[in-house]
Amino acid sequence: MPTNSAGTNDFDPISLLEDTSGNSFRAHVFKEIDELIADTKDRAIGYAIASHLEPTGWLPTPLTDIAKNLQAEVEVVEAVLSQLQKC
């Protein structure tokens, strides 16, 4: 484990998780949506949800806002999110 001259540990285990495949987290989620959701309307909702995801997987945008922007029922957006959470 690397340490600096002061003897403190500067090892960063998160750096080992870096994606070097050239595929972003969002690209991976879009691919999963294509494979998981057959219905075109639900797939569009899935894409909208994915476009709001942070790289950590956190969804900072309220589902009510996403539903309003898509003119969709919140329950439908919640159902699509539930499907995506299976990935």
Going residue by residue through the chain, which has 87 residues, state the pLDDT in tens, using 9 for 90 and above: 444 445 556 665 655 555 555 567 888 888 899 999 999 999 999 999 999 998 888 999 999 999 999 999 999 999 999 999 887
Contact between 50 and 30 under an 8 Å Cβ cutoff? The reply is yes
Please list the alpha-helical segments (H only) found in 1-87: 25-36, 40-52, 63-70, 74-84
For residue 4, tell me if it sits in a domain.
no
- Identify the pLDDT of residue 73: 97
**CA separation for the pair 42, 58 (Å, rounded):** 20
Our count of domains for the chain comes to 1
For residue 74, tell me if it sits in a domain.
yes
Q: Which domain range does residue 42 map to?
A: 23-84
Q: What would the DSSP string read from start to end of 61-72?
A: S-HHHHHHHHT-
- Identify the pLDDT of residue 1: 44
For residue 32, tell me if it sits in a domain.
yes
